[in-house]
Amino acid sequence: MLHCLIKSLYTTVLTVVILVSALVFTAPALATGAYQMPPLSESTWVVDDAELISRINESKITERLQELAQATGNEVRFVTIHRLDYGETTASFADALMEKWFPEPESRTNQTLLVLDEVTNNAALKVGDASAERLDQDIVTSVIDETIAIPLRNGNKYNQALLTASDRLVAVLSGQADPGPPAEATSFERKSTFASVEETEENRSNATIIVVGFLIAATVIPMATYYLYQSIGG
């Protein structure tokens, strides 16, 4: 009976240790590559994999992009992801996804693809050759560094960033004047949304302490239970 009790207790503690270790060390592994994106269809305009856009705003963006395609033949698609595969960047992801969805060079000439990564808040804008005649490099850079980045710096306003980006891209690709980026308020102190090196090291140290504590408990508790039982029996 004592052997069964110790074995059961040891198994329980060990299970807890494994679960904690899994949560601490494998959570960052959830990542997305272009190969995981769904196939392109006629209804594919917004792929909100990171779930950053409200349903109402996703419908608004989809409607605008559909109307642009019907009126001009220029097609724009938005993709949000939570985390990139290790070693991947938003630019390399956009390149790979463009090639997956439009494998033939001539099929991507009127295509524009905007990719936004939630973890880093980095974005990339991939533009086909024909679309680039209106979306020149200066505008592309401004869309990424200002139209997208400014609302994200001011409180991770993803809906505002993507709505404004859709308005600007639709305007330029429709032959209208570039409305330019949103104005950025500079009268307040920006607060960093990223953990400092010290905070990261502290979190890692705390996680290590928790795991080590469970490992010690997994060893000590069964021994203490055995000696206590022996003492009572004696």
Q: pLDDT confidence of 220, banded at 50, 70, 90?
A: low
Shared-domain flag, residues 12 and 70: no
pLDDT of residue 212: 55
Shared-domain flag, residues 142 and 49: yes
Shared-domain flag, residues 64 and 147: yes
pLDDT of residue 44: 95
pLDDT of residue 213: 64
- 182 inside domain: no
Shared-domain flag, residues 8 and 45: no
Residue type present at position 196: S
Shared-domain flag, residues 51 and 90: yes
What pairs with residue 48 in β-bridges?
80
- 183 inside domain: no
pLDDT of residue 189: 47
Shared-domain flag, residues 99 and 116: yes
Nearest to 111 by CA among 96, 124, 98: 98
Average pLDDT over residues 229-233: 67
pLDDT of residue 200: 56
> Which residue range(s) make up the domain with 23?
2-29+197-233
pLDDT of residue 123: 97
Q: Where are the alpha helices (DSSP H) in the chain?
A: 2-26, 55-72, 90-101, 137-142, 149-153, 158-173, 197-233
- 88 inside domain: yes
Residue 196 pLDDT > 80 = no
Residue type present at position 113: L
pLDDT of residue 35: 87
Shared-domain flag, residues 62 and 163: yes
Distance CA 84, CA 93 (A): 8
Long-range contacts of 195-203 (CB under 8 A, 24+ apart): none
Distance CA 220, CA 19 (A): 19
Shared-domain flag, residues 164 and 227: no
Domain count, the chain: 2
Lowest mean pLDDT among 91-95, 128-132, 180-184: 180-184
What's the whole-model pTM score? 0.68
Residue 106 pLDDT > 70 = yes
Are 83 and 117 a contacting pair, CB within 8 Å?
A: yes
Shared-domain flag, residues 117 and 91: yes
Shared-domain flag, residues 167 and 111: yes
- 46 inside domain: yes
Distance CA 76, CA 98 (A): 11
Average pLDDT over residues 157-186: 94
Residue 8 pLDDT > 90 = no
pLDDT of residue 184: 78
Nearest to 93 by CA among 104, 82, 106: 82
- 227 inside domain: yes
- 108 inside domain: yes
CATH number for the domain spanning 152: value is 3.10.310.50
End-to-end C-alpha distance for the chain, whole angstroms:
16
In the three-class reduction of DSSP (H, G, I as helix; E, B as strand; rest coil), residue 58 is classed as helix
202: DSSP letter: H
Calculate the average pLDDT of the chain: 82
Residue type present at position 209: I
Residue 206 pLDDT > 70 = no
- 131 inside domain: yes
Considering Cα of 185, then 186, then 190, then 193, what sign does the dihedral take?
A: positive
Shared-domain flag, residues 166 and 52: yes
Residue 12 pLDDT > 70 = no
